[in-house]
């Protein structure tokens, strides 16, 4: 069984997220999503609209996702790869080169982001529409 892992906040779930998960799953037989906890988001200076448990429930409902685990610290990636017997680490290409150090324990793949959609864009669009009202 070929295991794949990816990481993210997955806030304001959108079709770009779904495409990323679909492409990640296509690289193996079993997809693990390490979902950023509210605490790690706060550490990174981010705040998700939905709390961790709600984001986790949404991801678990997606057919491409086999397991959701918490990402509670930035440095856990190597131990996750080893503990979950991961073959492929997948992340968006905006992180290109940042995780090459993991290539000694698994294959590292950077997938292109879906053009025209992101959580940042959704938040900006919502903020702009509220200003018009």
Active site residue 25: no
Q: Could you say which of 44, 98, 121, 123 is catalytic?
A: 44
Helix boundaries (H) for the chain: 15-25, 38-43, 52-60, 77-83, 119-132
Cβ atoms 55, 10 nearer than 8 A: yes
Tokens of 11: 């806030």
Measured CA to CA, the distance from residue 80 to residue 100 in angstroms comes to 16
Q: Could you say which of 25, 46, 96, 98 is catalytic?
A: 46
Cβ neighbours for 125, distance < 8 A, ≥ 6 positions apart: none
Tokens of 112: 């292109």
From 76, 62, 69, select the one nearest 15 (Cα to Cα). 62
Active site residue 46: yes
Residues catalogued as catalytic:
44, 46
């Amino acid at each position: 069984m070929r295991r794949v892992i990816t990481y993210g906040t997955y806030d304001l779930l959108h079709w770009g997220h779904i495409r990323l998960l679909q492409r990640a799953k296509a690289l193996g037989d079993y997809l693990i999503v390490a979902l950023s906890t509210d605490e790690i988001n706060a550490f990174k200076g981010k705040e998700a609209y939905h709390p961790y448990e709600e984001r986790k429930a949404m991801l678990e409902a997606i057919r491409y996702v086999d397991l959701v685990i918490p990402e509670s610290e930035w440095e856990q990636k190597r131990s996750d790869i080893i503990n979950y017997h991961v073959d492929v680490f997948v992340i968006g290409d905006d992180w290109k080169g940042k995780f090459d150090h993991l290539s000694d324990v698994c294959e590292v793949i950077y997938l292109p982001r879906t053009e025209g959609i992101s959580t940042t864009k959704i938040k900006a669009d919502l903020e702009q529409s509220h200003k018009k009202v």
